[in-house]
Amino acid sequence: MKTSQKHCRCGSTLVQTIDAPLPLVWSILRRFDNPQAYKQFVKTCNLSSGDGGEGSVRDVTVVSGLPAVYSIERLEELDDESHVMVISIIGGDHRLVNYRSKTTAFVAAGGEKKTVVVESYVVDVPEGNSEEETTTFANTIVGFNLKSLAKLSEKMVHKF
């Protein structure tokens, strides 16, 4: 099916400072096979190929209430030294078509007890939606996930 609409992409970068050390934050973030640990929109996740390392593919079922049921995602890059993770959405029944995100974590300036997580993404703008609507939708989900990651990490720090 051809459309007359020009292929349009948009993207954004979100930053979250977390009151927890980098090794702890990264240990949660890097688990491609367990995004539901901090992503509250994820109901279930099963690896359909791979072992959770680069090239692995996961089938994610999202919680009801979102305009989607499932997502198929591939781990493009996982660098434990640089704390970089790149994920592409390669299928599903949602608005995030050709979504690709890069998440980087590093020690915050001024202390090893704080971590900064930066997530940037690009995604196609679906037909009938504006760039602004698409960016707002994606930013809401990414921002919510980053806040949830911060909450979980900080809770784990204060347990010890």
Residue 158 and residue 160: Cα distance in Å, rounded? 5
As for how many domains the chain has, the answer is: 1
Span 106-127, pLDDT tens digits: 999 887 799 999 999 999 999 8
pLDDT in tens, 80-115: 999 999 999 999 998 889 999 999 999 998 877 999
CATH number of the domain at 121, please.
Answer: 3.30.530.20
For residue 157, what are the CA distances in angstroms to 38, 39, 115?
15, 19, 12
Would you say residue 3 lies in a domain? no
As a whole-number percent, the residues of the chain with pLDDT over 70 amount to 94
Residue 50 structural domain: 10-158
**Does 59 map to a domain?**
yes
Residue type, 75: L
- Please check whether residue 2 lies inside any domain of the structure: no
In a domain, 1, yes or no: no
DSSP 8-39: -EEEEEEEEEESS-HHHHHHHHT-TT-GGGT-
Q: Is residue 5 part of a domain?
A: no
Answer yes or no: is 4 within a domain: no
